[in-house]
C-alpha cells in the first residue's frame, strides 16, 4: 500500500504528479532543487511584457490539457498561427514568390523522404538524397535544430516522425511560466524549494538524500530532465541509462526594441533566412504579442557552442547576424539583451530531450516503473504519444506516473 510518495522536481510533471496523488489521498513530499517552481516553464518580465525563458506556446492545442485548463480559467489565449506572418530572406533579400514555391516544394519532399526512411537512422541521413536542393539545409536545420533542439546527424528520424507537432499553437499572454506557477502551483501543494536530491536508494522503501537530510517514502517519482539525472546517484543504478535521450538546446535572446516599424518589422512577424549546410540557423520573432522586444532563437549544436562561449559571445553573434539582415540600424533599434541559458543550468543541462538514432524506444523504456512501482521516471522526455518536449507531455506524464505509483 503506497501511503507516501516523494516527488522530485516541481516543474510541470512534478506539479501534475503531486496534484494527482494528493487528490487521491496519498501523502506527498515535493522537493525542488531551484528556488522557484515551474522548471522549464518560466516567465520573467521585460518592462511590462512577459518573456518566457522556456515554453512559450501551447502546442497541439486540440489535445493539450493545459490549453483546456487555461481556457477554463478564462485566460485570454491567442492563436499564434493566426497572428503570425513570415518573412524568409534569400541572400539578404526577401524571398520572391518563386523562392517560396521552391521552399514549400522542398519541404514537402523532405517530409515525404523522411517519412519513408527506415526507423533507426539519423534525420540527416534520411534526407541525404536531397542534399542537392538549395533549401534542404534550411529545412533540416529548422526541423532538427530549431524545433527539436537537436543535431540532425544524431537525431532519430523515427523520433522526429513521432513528435512532429500538429494542431494549433496558443499563446498565454501573461506567459506560460506565470500560468503554471499561478494555476498549477497551488494544485501541486507545498514544495520544499532549494532542496536538490543528490541520491536515491530504491532497494527497499525509498531513501533520498538532500542537504536538509534524508527523506523516506514508499515510492518516488523523479521528474528531472534527462540532463539532470546525472546529478542524482541511484542505488542500484538505473537499468537503462538516459544517454540515448540527450538534451538538445534552444537558446532565446530577447532584445528591447524601439517601436514596431523600425527595421521594417511588424508585430508577430517571424524572420528567417535560407542557409547553406552547416551554417547556423537563426530565427527572429518580432514584437510577439505586442511586447516591446524581439526574440532571436538558436538551436542544436550552434546553441551548445555559444552556450559554452558565454552570454557576451552569444549576443555578439546574434547582433552580427541582425546587422547582416537589417544593416547598422539594428544596433540602434535593438538594445538591452535578456538571454536564456538552459545549457549551463545544473537542474536542466539543456532545453528538452531528443532520441538518438536507435534510441527512439528509450522514451517508453525509461518510463517503465522500477522496483515494482517504487521508482518511476516522469517528464517531457518519456512521452510516446507525440507530445515529448512539451508542457502538455510533461503534465500528462506526471499524471501517468501518479497513476502507476498509486
The least distance separating ligand FAD from the CB of residue 299, rounded to whole angstroms, comes to 8
Helix ranges (H only) for 117-248 are: 123-126, 136-141, 157-163, 176-179, 185-188
Q: What are phi and psi of 98, to 5 degrees?
A: -65, -40
Q: Which of residues 1-20 bind ligand FAD (CB under 6 A)?
A: 8-14
Interface mask (CB under 6 A) for ligand FAD, residues 323-342, using x and -?
Answer: -----------------x-x
Query: Rule CB under 6 A: is residue 224 a binding residue for ligand FAD?
Result: yes
The least distance separating ligand FAD from the CB of residue 364, rounded to whole angstroms, comes to 16
- Are 36 and 65 in contact by the 8 Å Cβ rule? The answer is no
Query: Rule CB under 6 A: is residue 363 a binding residue for ligand FAD?
Result: no
Interface mask (CB under 6 A) for ligand FAD, residues 129-168, using x and -?
Answer: ----------------------------------------
- Are 388 and 280 in contact by the 8 Å Cβ rule? The answer is no
Residue 253 or 333: which CB sits closer to ligand FAD? 253
Residue 117 or 249: which CB sits closer to ligand FAD? 249
Which grid coordinates are listed for 387?
507530445
| The pairing of beta strand 283-285 with beta strand 206-210 | unpaired
Query: Rule CB under 6 A: is residue 59 a binding residue for ligand FAD?
Result: yes
Which grid coordinates are listed for 321?
547576424
Q: Which of 352, 333, 252, 329 is nearest to 292 (CA)?
A: 333
Region near ligand FAD per CB under 6 A, out of 31-39, 79-87, 274-282, 305-313: 31-39
Question: What residues contact 308, with CB distance under 8 A and at least 6 apart?
Answer: 343
The least distance separating ligand FAD from the CB of residue 401, rounded to whole angstroms, comes to 11
Residue 325 or 352: which CB sits closer to ligand FAD? 352
The least distance separating ligand FAD from the CB of residue 251, rounded to whole angstroms, comes to 7
The least distance separating ligand FAD from the CB of residue 165, rounded to whole angstroms, comes to 9
Terminal-to-terminal C-alpha distance of the chain: 8
Residue 59 or 274: which CB sits closer to ligand FAD? 59
- Are 32 and 14 in contact by the 8 Å Cβ rule? The answer is yes
Maximum distance among all Cα pairs of the chain, rounded to whole angstroms: 67
The least distance separating ligand FAD from the CB of residue 157, rounded to whole angstroms, comes to 21
Q: Which of residues 32-51 bind ligand FAD (CB under 6 A)?
A: 32-34, 39-41
Q: Which of 13, 92, 14, 72 is nearest to 321 (CA)?
A: 92
Which grid coordinates are listed for 333?
533599434
Measured CA to CA in angstroms, residue 67 lies from 58, 61, 78, 385 at distances of: 6, 6, 11, 17
Q: Which of residues 244-303 bind ligand FAD (CB under 6 A)?
A: 250, 252
Q: Which of 354, 366, 287 is nearest to 145 (CA)?
A: 354
Site of interaction with ligand FAD (CB under 6 A): 8-14, 31-34, 39-41, 54-57, 59, 196-197, 223-225, 228, 231-232, 250, 252, 340, 342, 347-348, 351-352, 379-380, 389-392, 394
Amino acid at each position: 500500500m503506497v501511503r507516501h510518495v516523494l516527488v522530485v522536481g516541481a516543474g510541470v510533471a512534478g506539479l501534475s504528479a503531486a496534484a494527482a496523488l494528493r487528490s487521491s489521498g496519498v501523502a506527498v513530499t515535493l522537493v525542488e532543487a531551484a528556488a522557484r517552481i515551474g522548471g522549464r516553464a518560466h516567465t520573467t518580465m521585460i518592462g511590462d511584457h512577459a518573456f518566457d525563458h522556456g515554453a512559450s506556446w501551447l502546442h497541439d492545442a486540440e489535445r493539450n490539457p493545459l490549453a483546456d485548463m487555461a481556457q477554463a480559467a478564462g485566460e485570454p489565449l491567442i492563436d499564434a498561427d493566426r497572428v503570425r506572418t513570415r518573412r524568409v530572406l534569400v541572400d539578404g533579400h526577401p524571398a520572391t514568390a518563386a523562392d517560396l514555391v521552391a521552399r514549400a516544394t522542398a519541404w514537402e519532399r523532405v517530409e515525404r523522404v523522411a517519412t519513408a526512411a527506415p526507423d533507426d537512422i539519423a534525420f540527416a541521413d534520411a534526407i541525404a538524397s536531397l542534399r542537392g536542393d538549395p533549401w534542404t539545409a534550411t529545412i533540416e536545420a529548422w526541423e532538427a535544430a530549431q524545433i527539436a533542439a537537436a543535431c540532425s546527424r544524431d537525431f532519430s528520424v523515427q523520433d522526429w516522425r513521432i513528435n512532429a507537432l500538429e494542431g494549433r499553437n496558443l499563446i498565454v499572454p501573461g506567459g506560460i511560466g506565470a500560468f503554471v506557477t499561478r494555476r498549477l502551483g497551488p494544485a501541486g501543494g507545498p514544495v520544499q524549494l532549494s532542496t536538490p536530491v543528490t541520491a536515491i536508494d530504491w532497494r527497499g522503501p525509498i531513501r533520498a538524500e538532500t542537504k536538509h537530510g534524508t527523506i523516506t517514502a514508499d515510492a518516488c517519482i523523479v521528474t528531472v530532465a534527462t540532463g539532470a539525472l546525472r546529478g542524482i546517484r541511484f542505488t542500484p543504478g538505473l537499468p537503462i541509462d538516459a544517454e540515448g535521450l540527450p538534451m538538445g538546446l534552444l537558446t532565446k535572446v530577447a532584445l528591447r526594441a524601439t517601436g514596431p516599424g523600425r527595421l521594417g518589422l511588424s508585430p508577430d512577424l517571424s524572420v528567417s533566412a535560407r542557409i547553406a549546410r552547416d551554417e547556423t540557423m537563426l530565427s527572429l520573432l518580432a514584437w510577439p504579442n505586442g511586447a516591446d522586444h524581439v526574440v532571436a532563437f538558436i538551436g542544436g549544436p550552434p546553441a551548445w557552442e555559444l552556450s559554452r562561449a558565454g552570454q557576451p559571445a552569444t549576443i555578439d553573434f546574434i547582433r552580427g547576424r541582425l546587422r547582416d539582415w537589417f544593416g547598422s540600424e539594428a544596433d540602434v533599434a535593438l538594445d538591452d539583451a535578456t538571454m536564456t541559458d538552459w545549457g549551463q543550468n545544473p537542474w536542466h543541462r539543456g532545453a528538452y530531450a531528443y532520441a538518438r538514432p536507435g534510441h527512439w524506444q528509450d522514451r517508453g523504456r525509461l518510463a517503465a516503473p522500477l522496483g515494482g512501482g517504487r521508482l518511476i521516471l516522469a517528464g517531457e522526455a518519456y512521452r510516446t504519444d507525440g507530445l515529448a518536449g512539451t508542457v502538455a507531455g510533461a503534465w500528462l506524464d506526471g499524471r501517468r506516473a501518479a497513476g502507476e505509483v498509486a
